[in-house]
Structure formats: structure tokens, C-alpha cells
Amino acid sequence: LGMRTYKLNNGLEMPRLGLGVWKSDNGQETVNAIHWALEAGYRHVDTAKIYKNEEAVGEAIQTASLPREEVWLTTKIWNDAIREGRTTQALDNSLKRLKTDYVDLVLLHWPVSGRVKAWQELEKAVEEGKVRSIGLSNFMEEHVQEILDGGNITPAVNQIEYHPYLTQADAISICDANDIAITAWSPLMQGNFLQEPLFAEIGKRYDKTAAQVVLRWCLQNDVIVIPKSVNRGRIIENGQLFDFELSEEDMTAIDQLERDERFGPDPHNFDF
């Protein structure tokens, strides 16, 4: 119920709630959002090189009233660097923008060509102390298998699109078998959860909002969540997840909504 961290396969404790900052700016909007989130009890921020806001994330963490070590920081290596064998350099550049000498987790953002070699570069970055955990994002079953075969370190995390309409059984099954944690991206279906009346209906029984119900459903499926908002009230709302528990019946009712529907690109079949 109150379990705030997830013990990864490398022994580190990753906060199960993080703030997503995709489409947040590279300035005050993001700085404020992160400060509000930290005040509300979040201890984890999820950014990426491609979000073009690592400088603001770094500034927010530097000016927060918490020490750097108390905030879990995730960033991601963009596809061009993976393809062109420039993962180490890309990580060094992210560290500079983030104004820190290490990140807690770095992910290969998409399973593009060059991924096994990029993974080996991340393994070196672990040895060098630039990153504490390494993982994947948008890696489907066959892509995860390739990394397990070609690497030495088992990925700590796979961050994939995950919400009541899309639960990705195949990708999750290989991750479960190898003790790879799942982080849900777009856990709030990019805002589309509001179209589904069931969440608010269930929420009434717990005095919780639809957003809180969806996020709690993810947590009870042992999935880490990184909801995005730059609105103070919503950031606080999305953080109040550890004081209630959905019944088995309500969990099952939400499970029935699965319809294999993506709001983002399909990693089986994409090129960018």
C-alpha cells in the first residue's frame, strides 16, 4: 500500500512515482513543476535528451531544498547517438546539461540499430560511475532478448507505453522472467483517461479522482509511474497514491478495458 520504492535487480531502490517532463519547457515551467513535485513527495524525475529540457531539470534539482542524492534522475540516449555509436558522448553531454556528475538511470530511448553496441557503452559508463543503473525504453520481447544475449549487465528497467488500454503482455513477460522492472510511460493515456467513465466511478468509492485510480492501478500491477503535469494542483493530485488500495474487483474491472490501443508509436514497426 505505502510501498514507495521498487528494489531493482542491482539492489538500488527506485521511487515508484516520478514526474514526467516530456513537452515541459526548458525554463521556469519545468523548474516550478519539479519543485512542486518534490514538495508533494515525489523523489524521481524522468527526462530525455530529446525533450530538450535537461538544463531546466538540472537547474531545478540544483536549486531544490533536497540534496542531489535524494532525487532519482532518469535520462535517455536519443536514436541518432545509438545509431552512430555516440552513446558515451551523448551521456557526457546530458550530464553537462543536467549539471550533475551522475544520473541514477539512463535508458536507450528506442530499439534502433546499433542498440547492442550502445548497451555495451552504457555498461562502461556504469563502471566509470557516470550512471548507477542502466535500462531500456520501448524494447519489445525480441529486442530485450538481444540485449540479454549481447550484454553483461541485465537491464534494470524497461520503460514502455502502459495504461489500461495497453498492457503489453509479451514485453512484460520477458521482463518479469529476468527481474527487469517496468516503468509506464503515458500512464494517464496522455489525458485520454478522462474519456473513460469507469475511473471516476471507481474513484468515488475511495474518495479519489480518476487520475489517482489509473495511477494506483499501475502501481498495484507493480509498475512504476511517471505522470506528466506542469499544473501544481494536478502534480499534487497525481502524487497522492499511497493512502488507498483498489479492491481486486475494481482492479479486474479496469483490466477488462485492455484493447491493445497505443497513443504513441509502435516499437515493432517504426523508424525515426
d(CA 152, CA 187): 30
Selected binder of ligand NAD within 234, 240, 251, 253 (CB under 6 A): 234
SS3 137: strand
Cell of 38: 518534490
Q: Is 77 in the site for ligand NAD (CB under 6 A)?
A: no
- Burial label, 260 (beta-carbon count in 10 A; 0-12, 13-18, 19+): exposed
The pair phi, psi for residue 68, each rounded to 5°, is: -50, -40
Candidates 3-11, 19-27, 128-136, 240-248: pick the segment binding ligand NAD (CB under 6 A): 19-27
DSSP-H helix ranges across the chain: 28-39, 54-63, 79-83, 87-98, 115-127, 141-150, 169-177, 197-206, 210-220, 232-239, 248-255
Nearer to ligand NAD, 128 or 139 (CB): 139
The catalytic residue among 51, 102, 162, 165 is 51
Q: Is 237 in the site for ligand NAD (CB under 6 A)?
A: yes
# of chain residues touching ligand NAD (CB under 6 A): 24
Instruction: Answer yes or no: 102 catalytic.
Output: no
Nearer to ligand NAD, 18 or 152 (CB): 18
Stated length of the chain: 272
> Which single residue brings its beta carbon nearest to ligand NAD?
20
- Per-residue binder mask for ligand NAD (CB under 6 A), 84-123, x = binder: -------------------------x--------------
**According to CB under 6 A, which residues from 120 to 139 bind ligand NAD?**
137-138
Q: Which of 219, 266, 253 is nearest to 238 (CA)?
A: 219
d(CA 188, CA 213): 10
Matching residue, cell 550484454: 151
Candidates 77-85, 86-94, 173-181, 226-234: pick the segment binding ligand NAD (CB under 6 A): 226-234
Q: Is 190 in the site for ligand NAD (CB under 6 A)?
A: yes
| DSSP one-letter code for 110 | S
CB of 213 to ligand NAD, least distance (A): 11
Site residues for ligand NAD per CB under 6 A: 20-22, 46, 109, 137-138, 159, 185-191, 211, 226-229, 234, 237-238, 264
